[in-house]
Structures are given as structure tokens and as C-alpha cells.
């Protein structure tokens, strides 16, 4: 049992190291060794397994350059892409974020989703903590995102949340239950 727990601890340590390597907000291509360099065979196996997992979850994008594989954070890439204008004559323009506020929400959302292992609904209270903006402003920005079809709000299905979560919830007139989480595409 102790051995299993060691491996679990090692897995989370390595996951943290990978996340740290991609923590900057501008997109950066990183090689395997730049992400995590180790001589331990055991760590290498876990590291590769974690990379596969994060790639499958859509957080990392593997890009081939000759024989090398470089990795890119999709969250950072998404942030940059959302600022690019649509090329002329392309398919109907996607409803992308145009305000810096929404861009900030998307980046914070992606980072939080990544940190919670890919679960898509992010707590509004976590978003506020991450963005460090007043709750009123966050609610206002989120409602703009919802109106623009870039976010959806969700109610709680568990009663077991701390007071902070309920305190950060969005309450809409005429609706009996508050919204505590948000998903973004």
C-alpha cells in the first residue's frame, strides 16, 4: 500500500512540474527535456504517461518537428488565436471574445480547468480568486459571456460546498437556484 501511495505522490509531483513548465501565458514550444529532465527510469515512465494523459485531455498539443516532438499549451494558444481577425471569405465568423475582460476570463478558465484535471465546470469562486477582480465585475463579465454564447452557467448538484462558493454564485431573477459554476467552450 505504501508503494502505491509513493507512486501517487510521484505522479502528482510530476504533474505539477509539467504544469509549471507551461504556466506562462504566451504560447511556448517545449521539448520533452525542457518540460522535465530526469534520469530516473521510473520518473520517465510516469512523466510520459502524464504527458499522454494531458494530451488526451486537450491541454497539450504535440507538434512534430523533424524527429522531435515539441509540446504547446492549448490554453495559451487559444488566447492568442482569439485575438486574430478572421480571414476574409472564411466560414461564418466564430463568436470569439473581443474584450480584454472576456479574454482574461477564458485564460483563467482554461488554467483552472487544466488544474482540476480537465473537469469542464469551473467554480465562479475559483475564477474570482484566480482573476483577482471584484465579484460584481466578474458577474457582469460572465453574464456578457453567457449572452454572447461563450459561457454557460450551472447550478449545484451537491449541497456540500463551502460558504465562499455560495457567496460567489450568480443569482438570476425568477430562478430559485443560484449558479455556482461556469463552462466555456
Cβ contact 74:106 at 8 Å? no
Instruction: Give me Rg for the CA atoms of the chain.
Output: 19
Tally the residues of the chain. 185
Please work out, in degrees rounded to the nearest 5, the angle formed at the alpha carbon of residue 95 by the alpha carbons of 79 and 24.
Answer: 5
Using the rule CB under 8 A, is 121 a contact of another protein?
A: yes
The helix (H) or strand (E) run that includes residue 147 is: helix 135-147
> Least distance (Å) from another protein to the CB of residue 26?
26
Q: Should residue 62 be labelled a site residue for another protein when binding is judged by CB under 8 A? A: no
CB of 182 to another protein, least distance (A): 9
Phi, psi of 60 (to 5 degrees): -120, 145
The region of 22-30, 50-58, 63-71, 72-80 touching another protein under the rule CB under 8 A is: 50-58
Provide the minimum distance between the beta carbon of 99 and another protein in the complex, in angstroms, as a whole number: 15
Nearer to another protein, 119 or 171 (CB): 119
| Residue 51 CB neighbour total at 10 angstroms | 21
Residues 93-112, interacting with another protein (CB under 8 A) = 94-95
Distance between CA atoms of 22 and 8, rounded to whole angstroms?
22
Asked if 140 touches another protein (CB under 8 A), the answer is no
For residue 93, give the 3-state DSSP assignment. coil
Task: Please identify, using beta-carbon distances, which residue of 26 and 147 lies nearer to another protein.
Answer: 147
**Interaction between residue 119 and another protein (CB under 8 A):** yes
Residues of this chain that interact with another protein (CB under 8 A) are: 1, 4-5, 8, 11, 53, 56-57, 94-95, 116-121, 146-150, 152, 154-158, 160-161, 180-181, 183, 185
Amino acid at each position: 500500500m505504501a508503494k502505491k501511495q509513493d507512486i501517487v505522490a510521484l505522479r502528482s509531483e510530476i504533474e505539477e512540474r509539467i504544469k509549471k513548465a507551461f504556466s506562462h501565458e504566451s504560447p511556448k514550444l517545449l521539448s520533452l527535456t525542457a518540460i522535465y529532465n530526469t534520469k530516473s527510469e521510473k520518473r520517465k515512465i510516469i512523466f510520459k504517461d502524464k504527458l499522454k494523459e494531458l494530451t488526451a485531455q486537450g491541454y497539450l498539443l504535440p507538434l512534430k518537428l523533424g524527429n522531435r516532438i515539441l509540446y504547446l499549451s492549448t490554453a495559451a494558444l487559444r488566447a492568442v488565436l482569439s485575438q486574430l481577425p478572421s480571414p476574409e471569405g472564411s466560414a461564418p465568423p466564430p463568436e470569439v471574445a473581443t474584450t480584454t475582460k472576456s479574454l482574461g476570463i477564458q485564460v483563467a478558465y482554461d488554467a483552472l480547468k487544466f488544474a482540476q484535471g480537465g473537469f469542464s465546470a469551473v467554480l465562479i469562486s475559483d475564477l474570482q480568486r484566480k482573476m483577482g477582480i471584484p465579484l460584481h465585475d466578474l458577474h457582469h463579465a460572465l453574464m456578457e459571456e453567457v449572452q454572447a454564447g461563450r459561457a454557460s452557467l450551472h447550478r449545484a448538484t451537491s449541497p456540500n460546498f463551502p460558504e465562499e462558493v455560495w457567496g460567489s454564485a450568480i443569482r438570476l431573477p425568477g430562478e430559485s437556484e443560484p449558479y455556482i459554476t461556469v463552462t466555456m467552450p
